Amino acid sequence: MKTLIIYSSVHGNTEKIAKAIAEVMNAELKKVDDAIADDIKNYDLIGFGSGIYYGRHHKNLLKFAENVNGNGKKAFIFSTSSGKKLPVINNFDKALLKKLSRKGFTVIGNFNCRGNKAYYNTPGLIIRPFCGQKEEDRPNAEDIEKAKKFAENMKKLFSETNFHKFALPVSCYDFYITSELFVKCVISCIHFK
């Protein structure tokens, strides 16, 4: 399995996670600003990651996803953020997931951990509690280990001999691939193409 990880990292948080995932998957890393659409042709699995800005992945990563054709390739999403991922309030992956799905990718998992920057350009006291607090030491060693476990799970999931026969409904993507709840959701939601 050849893996390419395309990422954007403004403050270095996402780059730490990208490197941890790449180490486990023996993947090539490429910054989104250096990537072109043809880069994905020679890879079986593509990772897309960035920090979260105003509730979604970095604009450069979203723009790249809009201009690339997945042709049925498998993909995964990862991010770092100052806020907790709450599917109803701030489902960080929604915009990127929609773009990748529309462009022909099958997204098989996602990962998110805290980063060490928080920006409070968000107006109002109602929204601010969901933006997160400044986390000085994140991603930390525990976050890196979780990212590596996620990468191991992606390898296992990708290498399943019959994986190509299954499709995951979008509702399952809100669960982390490393959780038992995600596995239960996949088992209950899998359907044949």
How confident is the model at residue 85, as a pLDDT? 58
CA dihedral angle for residue 12, residue 180, residue 142, residue 105, rounded to 10 degrees: -20
Contact status, residue 116 vs residue 94, Cβ threshold 8 Å: no
Q: Where are the domains of the chain?
A: 3-192
CA atoms of 65 and 146, how far apart (whole Å): 25
Contact status, residue 90 vs residue 54, Cβ threshold 8 Å: no
55-64, 108-117, 131-140: the lowest-pLDDT one: 131-140
Place 126 in a pLDDT band, splitting at 50, 70 and 90: very low
- What's the predicted TM-score (pTM) here? 0.75
Q: What percentage of residues in the chain have a pLDDT greater than 90? A: 50
pLDDT of residue 11 exceeding 50: yes
**What's the distance, CA 109 to chain centroid?**
7
Mean pLDDT of the residues in the chain: 78
**What's the distance, CA 133 to chain centroid?**
21
How confident is the model at residue 147, as a pLDDT? 96
CATH class of 3-192: alpha beta
- pLDDT of 96-111, one tens digit each? 999 999 999 999 999 9
pLDDT of residue 10 exceeding 50: yes
| Helical axes 141-159 vs 13-25, angle rounded to 10° | 40
